[in-house]
């Protein structure tokens, strides 16, 4: 019996597998891959004018995909991101059953993604681990958690086509949420429309986590009060999740009577923007989740008392399994960029008739139109910035 089978024996469901996996291993690989991309971009030495989110999306996609599934997929299919982005933009269009006739490009992109993942899986299965081998990451299978998932797939008798579909959804859980959340974080931190001292206070916190060798203390990073408050404010404002539950027995919910067998939905959009729960709910307030200790005067992040009012990761047994990795990835990316690069705001831009054009000085990017339930909402518009590596930046010293 292989080492992998021994490990997953007794684990019958994917949530159990995800909750048992040490996410720090994923974070380390993501940081390594993202850092390597920055090092390879020689233009950053002299400085580049870029549309921030568009620039970030491609690098985040490459780093996240590589850390999860290995480097072989993107080596085999360098254009995988092109098909993926079309599929991502139309995910709920397909989920709601739009006929192929009216969404040809969406179906084409989905089929292309699945086909490429099928061939990647087949290639990986041709390079199996030897007995006793169980590395944290390999080029063919990626992170150890992917091998655990694939072993469960085989135990359940899933076809290669079915496995590819499951892997595409698993990728989307990270790629389609962590990257836009990172984008919203950076846009608000760098925007001239934010409070004048917001960026400087964030930088002060980040500096406190920078070690003498230039690396960043990730455990300390995820506890910074203002950074964490801003992160959760991004989730409050830009997560659109439909938590669905099947009713096992008839019950009264307030004035409503729900019958056994029916389904109920709890939409974050309505709850997170309810003025009864949050003051000025449509305004981004990075201090919304800050509390002051009455004895020490120290600030900390807290969501105490918000049960049932704030649930960006869902709830219960099926709460988002990637939430810890996503948080580390998002905050790690923000820290890596802000601590190692000088980023200067140039102006807001919008996409019109196939090209980017200047927008007004107060035209902060808006939410991309889409169906309800999109999880982290897409970004419509962008911010042009000048980004230049600081003289002290070394890829080995970033995180």
228-284 per-position pLDDT tens digit: 999 999 999 999 988 888 889 999 888 889 999 998 888 899 999 999 999 999 999
Q: What is the pLDDT of residue 96?
A: 82
pLDDT (0 to 100) of residue 272? 96
Distance CA 235, CA 288 (A): 12
pLDDT at residue 393 above 70?
Answer: no
User: How much is the pLDDT for 92?
Assistant: 82
Superfamily of domain 3-397: Cytochrome P450 (1.10.630.10)
pLDDT of residue 11: 45
Residue 295 predicted with pLDDT over 90: no
The burial class, CB within 10 Å (0-12 / 13-18 / 19+), for 258 is: middle
Prediction pTM value:
0.89
Residue 10 pLDDT > 60: no
pLDDT tens track for 88-106 = 988 888 888 899 999 999 9
Identify the band that residue 227 occupies on the pLDDT scale cut at 50, 70 and 90. very high
Average pLDDT over residues 175-185: 94
pLDDT surpasses 50 at 8:
no
Cβ atoms of 139 and 71 closer than 8 Å: yes
Check if the beta carbon of residue 376 is closer than 8 Å to that of residue 236.
no
- pLDDT band of 398, cuts 50, 70, 90: very low
Whether 120 and 73 have beta carbons less than 8 Å apart is answered as: yes
**Exposed (0-12), middle (13-18) or buried (19+): which is 231, by Cβ within 10 Å?**
buried
Reading the block at residue 398, the tokens are 């970033």
Check residue 129 and report its DSSP letter: P
Mean pLDDT of 307-326: 83
pLDDT classification of 303: cutoffs 50, 70, 90:
confident
Percent of the chain with pLDDT over 70: 92
What confidence category does residue 27 fall into, taking pLDDT thresholds of 50, 70 and 90?
confident
pLDDT at position 77 over 70: yes
pLDDT at 349 over 50: yes
For residue 217, pLDDT beyond 70: yes
pLDDT averaged over every residue in the chain: 88
pLDDT exceeds 90 at position 207: yes
pLDDT of residue 15: 59
pLDDT at residue 213 tops 80: no
- The tokens for 1 are 């019996």
Single out the residue of 182, 215, 217, 186 nearest to residue 202, CA to CA: 186
More confident of the two residues 309 and 317 = 309
| Structure confidence by residue, pLDDT tens digits, 36-68 | 999 899 999 999 999 999 999 999 999 999 999
Average pLDDT on 391-399 reads 51
Residue 296 has pLDDT above 50, yes or no: yes
pLDDT score for 13: 62
């Amino acid at each position: 019996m292989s080492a992998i089978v021994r490990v997953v024996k007794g684990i019958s469901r994917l949530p159990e597998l995800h909750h048992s996996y040490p996410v720090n291993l994923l974070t380390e690989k993501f940081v390594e891959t993202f850092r390597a991309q920055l090092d390879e971009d020689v233009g950053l030495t002299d400085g580049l004018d870029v549309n921030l989110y568009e620039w970030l999306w491609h690098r985040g996609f490459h780093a996240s995909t590589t850390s999860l599934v290995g480097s072989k997929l993107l080596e085999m299919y360098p254009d995988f991101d092109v098909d993926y982005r079309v599929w991502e933009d139309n995910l709920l269009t397909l989920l709601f059953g739009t006929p192929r006739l009216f969404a040809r490009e969406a179906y084409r992109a989905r089929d292309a993604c699945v086909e490429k993942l099928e061939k990647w899986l087949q290639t990986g299965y041709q390079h199996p681990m030897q007995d006793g081998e169980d590395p944290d990451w390999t080029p063919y299978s990626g992170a150890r958690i992917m091998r655990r998932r694939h072993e469960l797939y085989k135990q359940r008798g899933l076809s290669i086509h079915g496995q590819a579909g499951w892997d595409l959804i698993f990728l989307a859980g990270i790629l389609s949420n962590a990257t836009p959340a990172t984008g919203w974080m950076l846009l608000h931190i760098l925007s001239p429309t934010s409070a004048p001292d917001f960026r400087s206070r964030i930088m002060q916190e980040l500096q406190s986590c920078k070690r003498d060798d230039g690396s960043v203390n990730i455990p300390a990073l995820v506890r910074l009060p203002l950074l964490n408050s801003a992160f959760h404010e991004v989730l409050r404002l830009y997560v659109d999740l439909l938590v669905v539950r099947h009713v096992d027995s008839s019950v009264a919910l307030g004035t409503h009577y729900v019958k056994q067998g029916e389904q109920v939905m709890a939409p974050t959009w309505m709850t997170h923007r309810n003025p009864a729960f949050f003051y000025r709910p449509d305004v981004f307030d990075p201090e919304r989740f800050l509390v002051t200790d009455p004895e020490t005067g120290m600030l900390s992040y807290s969501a105490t008392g918000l049960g049932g009012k704030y649930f960006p990761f869902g709830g219960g047994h099926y709460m988002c399994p990637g939430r810890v990795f996503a948080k580390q990835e998002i905050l790690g990316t923000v820290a890596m960029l802000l601590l190692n690069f000088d980023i200067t705001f140039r102006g807001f831009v919008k996409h019109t008739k196939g090209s980017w054009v200047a927008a007004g000085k107060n035209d902060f990017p808006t939410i991309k139109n889409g169906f309800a339930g999109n999880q982290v909402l897409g970004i419509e518009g962008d911010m042009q910035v000048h980004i230049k590596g600081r003289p002290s930046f070394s890829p080995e010293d970033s995180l």
